[in-house]
Structure 1
Amino acid sequence: MTLRKRFTFFTIFWLIFILILFNIFVYLFVIKITLRSEDQLLTNKVNILLEDPRINDPATLSDPDLLRDYYNASELMRIVDTKGMVLNSRGSDPELLALPPVFTEQHETGMMFIDGRRALFMKVPLYHGSQVIGTLEMYRKLTLLDSYLQVLVIALTITSVGATLFAIIGTYWFTSRLTSPIQHMVQTMREIDRSGKLRQIELDQKDQSAELLQLARAFNQMIDRLDRTFEHQKQFVVDASHELKTPLTVISSYAGMLKRWGRDDDTIRDEAIEAISKEAQRLQNLTKSMLMLAQAEQEDWLKAEIFNVVQLAEETADLLHMTFQRMIRVHSAKPEVRLRADKDKIRQLMVILLDNAIKYSKETIDISLTVTKGTVRISVSDKGIGIPEEEMPYIFERFFRVDGARSRSTGGVGLGLSIAKRIVDLHDGQIDVFSKPEQGTTITVVLPQKK
């Protein structure tokens, strides 16, 4: 069942249920108010009649003028003696006259149905001194109330049917407008699936609700993100193909040279072997970096634990010092700084930053660790060639290298900072670069010190 039908049926059924409850309440309320008013009128008439001195005198109970002054149409008034005989009676309604007279010493009042019509009755004992001499019976048909109730039922039925019809039309119109953006979205998805081209939804912000606008914006943001992702994938494939092309071309050229002349010429053979080995190593590093970058795109790549980041920085600095014979100093005001993060990924982050500093500088490299307002700040500074200002916006892009000719000689593939930024992003951190050409570069990473 479609959303429009479900919403329409639910609205109609709920409206009918409310109308039924409302009609029942109005019907019972009108009956209660009217009965209370009629009962009060009947009580007032009985009280007035009891104040007449003739009503308490056995000799005047049968006086025809006694009840005539208080009689109204649709009523029956009569006096019954202790033997159940009617002493005095006023009334013209045959149904009321057919009611049997009953003597009672108790005060009785209530409502009864006569041939499906309501009638109020009141029975009051009459006293002469302390002796009961008879019973005053009063009956009153509520003909006007029954007529009003019939009109009320007809009016409530007509208004309920009319309200239901208007609700059906209004709900169908409203649900049509409500679901039209969703149908438009579904149609857009089908067109995207059929054509393979991403496109966004265009909605009139004046005619749509805030929720639908949020849904449309979320859909358009998703499409925009997919579009950027596809473009990045295309660019990644193009850049990767370009990066792979150079070492493969070099290996193929030197392999051909080695095949043609290398058997007899030791110089050519040594040169070819060295070039092939160098480019094969470069190709291996490129493949390893690409696989690492692909793994970094996964959200569950991290395995968080609590560790001392100062100790980790010192271990990483000692390792690279032994490998590259470069002085790396660690500066920290505290000997222990606790951080909850993926220890291996933070080590990899430091290695990437230090490796870049080693490649592009000759002097001592400094690592500074500080803690401020629940964050850990890691800064790696060098005094190398620096980064030109016009190239700063692109340093985190894949395969981008500062001064491509010199970076190729260092063996870089342009993926290190992309991997570093991904590690920082997965830790909900921030990475910034401060650099001046020929003066050096400082890369600062800020990570939240999560508990």
Structure 2
Amino acid sequence: MTLRKRFTLFTIFWFIFILILFNIFVYFYVIKITTQSEEQVIANKVNLMLDNPQIQTTTRLTDPELLNEYYNVDEVIRIILPDGKVANISGSDSALLELPAVFYDQHQTGMQTKGGERILYMRVPLYKDGKVVAMLEVNRILNELDNYLQILVAALSVTSGGAILFAIFGTYWFTSRLTAPIGQMVNTMREIDRSGKLRQIDLHGHEESAELQQLVRAFNQMIERLDRTFARQKQFVADASHELKTPLTVISSYAGLLKRWGRDDENIRNEAIDAIDMEAARLQNLTKSMLTLAEAEQEDWLRQEMFDVVQLVDELAGMLQTTFQRSIRVKPISRVVRMVGDKDKIRQLLVILLDNAIKYSKDPIDVTIALNKNIVKIDVRDKGIGIPENEIPHLFERFYRVDGARSRSTGGVGLGLSIAKRIVDLHEGQISVFSLPDLGTTITIQFKQRR
């Protein structure tokens, strides 16, 4: 069953259910109000008769003219004696005249049914010298009221039927418009699957509903994001293929050289072995960086923990100083700066930044650590060759290298800063670069402390 049919049936079911409850409430409320009104009419008439001295003194209870002035076409008024005989009666309705005469010595008011017709009655005892000598009974048939109720039922039935029909067509029309964007999305997805080309849904025609606009915009944003992702993947594959092609070409060339002349020429053999070894190492580094970057695209790549940034930087600086025989000066503003994050990934980030600083400068490298308003700030400053201003916006692109000294001769593959940017983004941090040619470069990273 389609969503449109389900929504329509569900809406109509509840509409009919509520409508039935409303009609029942109206019907019985009208019955209650009108019955109370009729009871009040009878009570007023009884009170008026009791004020009559002839009835009050019980001196002329059998007088045929006594009850005539209170006569009503829908009523029968009787005076019944204790032995069950009717002493006086006024009325012409056959159904009321057929009611059995029963004497009661207590005041009674109620409703009875005879032949499918409702009859409202009131019985009042008449006293003489403190004793009950007779009973005044008023019976009123509710034919006219029942006719009005039948008209009310007919009116409620007609209006309810019309309302149900209107609700059916209205709900079907509304659900058609409500599910139209979903249908467009399905058609768009089928078209994308058929053609292999991403395309968005036109917002025209959905201006009347903010929710529909949000739905279409969300779909279009998803398509746009997929488009960007596919474009990045396509570019990544193209760049990776280009980067892989160079070492593979070198290895293939030197392997061919070894086959032709290298077996007998020691110099050629040594040159080929060195070249193949260097390019194989470069290929390994490239593959490792690509795998790291692919893993970094996953949202659960991080392992959060509390750690001391100053201690981490001190340990890393000591290791790199020993490895590269370069001076790395750590300048913490506070002795202890703690933050929540992935310690290993932050370490990897700092290794990338310090490795670049070591490669492109010969002077000491300064690392400053500060904590201000729950923001951890780390500056990595070198006094190397610097970066041209027009190159800075592209630094974090995959496989991007700055021209000149920053070339393959440094051994880089152009993915380090891309990995660094991804680590910063996953920590919801910020990274910025300030550089002047021949004066040096300062890379600043900032993280929320998040204790």
TM over 0.5: yes
CA deviations 1:139-161 (Å, max 9, x no partner) are 11111101100100100000111
Give SS of 1:366's match. strand
CA deviations 1:261-318 (Å, max 9, x no partner) are 3344444333333322222222221122112112212222211221111111011111
1:256 & 1:132 partners in 2: Cα distance? 137
- Matching of residue 95 in structure 1 with residue 56 in structure 2: no
Aligned residues of 2:360 and 2:406 also touching (Cα < 8 A): no
| Residue 440 (structure 1) shift | 1.0
Aligned residues of 1:434 and 1:443 also touching (Cα < 8 A): yes
Partner of 2:329: 329
Letter in 1 for 2:244: L
Q: Which runs of 4+ in 1 moved over 6 A?
A: none
Aligned residues of 1:23 and 1:156 also touching (Cα < 8 A): yes
Percent identity (aligned): 67
Give SS of 1:434's match. strand
Letter in 2 for 1:21: L
Letter in 2 for 1:49: M
Runs (5+) with no aligned partner, structure 2: none
Give SS of 1:137's match. strand
Letter in 2 for 1:283: L
1:386 & 1:363 partners in 2: Cα distance? 13
Aligned residues of 1:384 and 1:440 also touching (Cα < 8 A): yes
| Residue 206 (structure 1) shift | 5.0
| Residue 180 (structure 1) shift | 0.7
- Matching of residue 179 in structure 1 with residue 187 in structure 2: no
| Residue 57 (structure 1) shift | 3.6
2:404 & 2:240 partners in 1: Cα distance? 15
Give SS of 2:22's match. helix
1:12 & 1:381 partners in 2: Cα distance? 71
Aligned residues of 1:296 and 1:419 also touching (Cα < 8 A): yes
- The 1:226–1:206 alpha-carbon spacing in structure 2 relative to 1, beyond 3 Å, is closer
1:212 & 1:202 partners in 2: Cα distance? 12
Letter in 1 for 2:394: Y
- Matching of residue 52 in structure 1 with residue 52 in structure 2: yes
Aligned residues of 2:58 and 2:126 also touching (Cα < 8 A): no
1:182 & 1:58 partners in 2: Cα distance? 85
- The 1:404–1:260 alpha-carbon spacing in structure 2 relative to 1, beyond 3 Å, is farther
Give SS of 2:239's match. helix
Partner of 1:373: 373
Runs (5+) with no aligned partner, structure 1: none
| Residue 411 (structure 1) shift | 0.8
| Residue 58 (structure 1) shift | 4.0
Number of residues of Structure 1 aligned to a counterpart in Structure 2:
451
Aligned residues of 1:205 and 1:213 also touching (Cα < 8 A): no
Give SS of 1:103's match. coil
Give SS of 1:66's match. coil
- Matching of residue 384 in structure 1 with residue 384 in structure 2: yes
Give SS of 1:301's match. coil
| Residue 205 (structure 1) shift | 6.0
Letter in 1 for 2:257: M
Give SS of 2:76's match. strand
Aligned residues of 2:380 and 2:443 also touching (Cα < 8 A): yes
Letter in 2 for 1:277: D
Partner of 1:270: 270
1:289 & 1:402 partners in 2: Cα distance? 18
Aligned residues of 1:181 and 1:203 also touching (Cα < 8 A): no
432-441 or 253-262: bigger deviation? 253-262
Aligned residues of 1:326 and 1:358 also touching (Cα < 8 A): yes
2:293 & 2:47 partners in 1: Cα distance? 101
Aligned residues of 2:333 and 2:368 also touching (Cα < 8 A): no
| Residue 30 (structure 1) shift | 1.0
| Residue 62 (structure 1) shift | 0.9
1:317 & 1:418 partners in 2: Cα distance? 22
CA deviations 1:318-347 (Å, max 9, x no partner) are 111111111001111222111211111111
1:41 & 1:334 partners in 2: Cα distance? 95
| Residue 358 (structure 1) shift | 0.7
Partner of 1:228: 228
Aligned residues of 2:331 and 2:367 also touching (Cα < 8 A): yes
| Residue 51 (structure 1) shift | 0.9
Partner of 1:14: 14
Partner of 1:440: 440
Give SS of 2:71's match. coil
1:424 & 1:290 partners in 2: Cα distance? 17
Letter in 1 for 2:445: V
Give SS of 1:299's match. coil
1:144 & 1:322 partners in 2: Cα distance? 111
1:439 & 1:205 partners in 2: Cα distance? 58
| Residue 390 (structure 1) shift | 1.1
1:153 & 1:335 partners in 2: Cα distance? 87
Give SS of 2:67's match. helix
Partner of 1:345: 345
Partner of 1:421: 421
